A and B are shown apart, each in its own frame.
Chain A
Amino acid sequence: MTAWLLSLLSAIAHTVRDVLPIAAILFGFQWLVIRKPMPNLKKVLIGFIYVLVGLALFLEGLNQALFPLGKLMAQQLTDPAFIYGALQATGHTAQQAHWWDYRWVYLFAAMIGFSCSLAEPALIAVAMKAHQVSGGTVGVWGLRIAVAIGAATGITLGVFRIVTGTPLHYYIIIGYIIVMIQTAFAPRMIIPLAYDSGGVTTSTVTVPLVTALGLGLASVVPGRSPLLDGFGLIALTVLCPLVTVMEYAQLSHWRAKRRA
């Protein structure tokens, strides 16, 4: 119990250290440049403490429970015995593996991408703000689910890329061509939000699990190097939500017009 409490305290101390530069910049500018009392200072400070303690507990809980299990699972799913077991039973070798032999990895990638995005605190924050600012036209859940579908697609594509060994920049270039076309047709008010949504998804929850999956897979698939192929999953996870969020806006726009 004491050990558990100690690790909790050290997690809070870590978060405080990480947040200290941000707090120093905020309060430094407030006192030295703006030189006016912050409105509702007490409430803001309490909120800041909530954020600190909340984030520390969140990270500590992830490290204790979900990350070890998720990483273990990424290892188990990319374990040669798991992927190639059935193949070797029929007398084939790992080199003859078809992209379809990795189907459980794709399913895991898609589902972990979807569910991690829903749990991502930064995305919750942006969805709350967008809902408030848009006067309710952008739904909190609609936006989050659209982003989650995008992240799931991105990670699955990234896994497929590692398996097939195709160059990353082809995916990125095609992705951005789609984004450009959509930008021309999507409702104007959604565009900045859609562009933001990519960077927002890749945060506390998603990055460690996705990185474990990518590096694990790149070191197992024959002919891939974790150094060259392990990176790039994050880049696709940033890209695909742009597409799905604009699509979500177009669909809701279209449905609203049809109802009218």
Chain B
Amino acid sequence: MKNQINILFHGLLGSLRDLAPVILVIAFFQLAVVQQPIPDLGGLLAGTALVVVGLTLFVRGLEMGLFPIGEAMAYAFARKGSLMWLLVFAFALGFGTTVAEPALIAVANEAARVASDSRLIAAGDAARHDYALGLRITVALAVGVALVLGMFRILKGWPVQYFIMGGYAGVMVMTLFAPPSIIGIAYDSGGVTTSTITVPLVTALGVGLASSIKGRNPLVDGFGLIAFASLTPMIFVMIYGTLVL
């Protein structure tokens, strides 16, 4: 019990240190540059306390739950020796976690509003809804494909840079053909797909898979899945834009 409290206390201190820079920056700009008093100081402190406690619990939960789940499942798939199931799992995880991702829903709705305002798609809620849903499914497919490719790469031990360079060549080529109004959204869509829960999980899966295969190095072969997942949505969204707009 004493040990638990000790861990928690250290965790809280660590989170406080992680968050101190943001608080300092905001306080500095508010007081020194904009020169306005901080509105609702009590609410600000209460909110900051929530952030600190939340981050502490999250990091503790990562070590206890998310990392072990990801690694255990990667080991189990490797031992089962079924390539097909591993890839189906990778696709389901990528597609499933992305299609319902709140950040992506927000960006897709925003993009639909923009497209509708500039008359790129038909006016009306139905057309806007279809367009936003199409974007979300496109990005989710892209992340699913990225994880399948990424897992396959770990199994084969291929160097990550060839894929990434090839991928960016693809992005550049698509930029030439895609309508200009989709490019900014496409470029940003790579960044919004990787959420706070997906990242640790996918990292643990990659590292777990790489360490359960003989001859793979978890550092060299285990990382790289996130990079794939932030690359493919750019290409897929530009293709979607070219087809739809």
Residues of chain A at the chain B interface (Cβ within 8 Å): 4, 8, 18-19, 21-22, 24-26, 29-30, 33-34, 36, 38-40, 43-66, 69-70, 72-73, 76-77, 82, 104, 108, 111-112, 114-116, 118-119, 121-122, 124-126, 128-130, 133-134, 138, 168-169, 172-173, 176, 180, 183, 188-189, 191-193, 195-196, 198-200, 202-205, 207, 227-235, 237-238
Contact = CB atoms under 8 A, between A and B. Distances in A.
Contacts of B242: none
A53 B54 CA distance: 7
Interface of A is mostly: helix
A203 B66 CA distance: 17
Given A57-B53, A116-B22, A202-B191, A18 B100 contact: yes
Interface in B57-107: 57-69, 72-73, 76-77, 80, 85, 89, 92-93, 96-97, 99-103
B109 interface: no
Interface in B31-74: 33-34, 36, 38-39, 43-69, 72-73
Given A26-B73, A128-B62, A231-B184, A54 B54 contact: yes
Given A18-B102, A122-B199, A195-B224, A64 B66 contact: no
B123 interface: no
B29 A47 contact: no
B19 interface: yes
B185 interface: yes
A126 B199 contact: yes
Contacts of A29: 73, 85, 89, 92
A115 B22 contact: yes
Contacts of A128: 59, 62-63
Given A50-B61, A126-B199, A192 B224 contact: yes
Given A54-B60, A130-B223, A47 B33 contact: no
**What are the 5 tightest A-B residue pairs by CB atom distance, in nearest-first order?**
A47-B65, A65-B47, A47-B64, A50-B61, A54-B57
B29 A73 contact: yes
Given A58-B51, A138-B219, 13 more contacts: A47-B62, A49-B61, A54-B58, A64-B43, A65-B43, A70-B26, A77-B34, A121-B59, A133-B219, A173-B172, A189-B219, A191-B160, A199-B229
Contacts of A200: 194, 199, 226
Contacts of B161: 183, 191, 195
A195 B160 contact: yes
Contact of A53 (B33, B57, B217, B220): B57
Contacts of A234: 187-188, 191-192
A129 B57 CA distance: 17
Give the interface size bracket for B toward A.
35 or more
A246 B102 CA distance: 31
A146 B47 CA distance: 28
B191 A207 contact: yes
A73 B44 CA distance: 14
Nearest to A183: B161
Contacts of B63: 47, 128
Nearest to B94: A25
Contacts of A59: 54
A147 B218 CA distance: 21
Contacts of A238: 190-191, 230
B212 interface: no
A193 B227 CA distance: 9
Contact of B183 (A118, A129, A169): A169
B134 to A, nearest CB: 18
Contacts of B138: none
Contacts of B168: 176
Contact of A189 (B99, B118, B220): B220
Given A58-B54, A231-B188, A235-B187, A133 B218 contact: yes
B129 to A, nearest CB: 19
Q: Which of A19, A54, A119, A138 has the most CB of B within 10 A?
A: A54
B150 to A, nearest CB: 10
Nearest to B48: A65
A61 B46 CA distance: 8
A115 B57 contact: no
Q: Which of A49, A104, A172, A189 has the most CB of B within 10 A?
A: A172
A205 B19 CA distance: 11
Contacts of A189: 217, 219-220
Nearest to A231: B184
B197 interface: yes
Contact of A235 (B97, B101, B190, B224): B190
B47 A172 contact: no
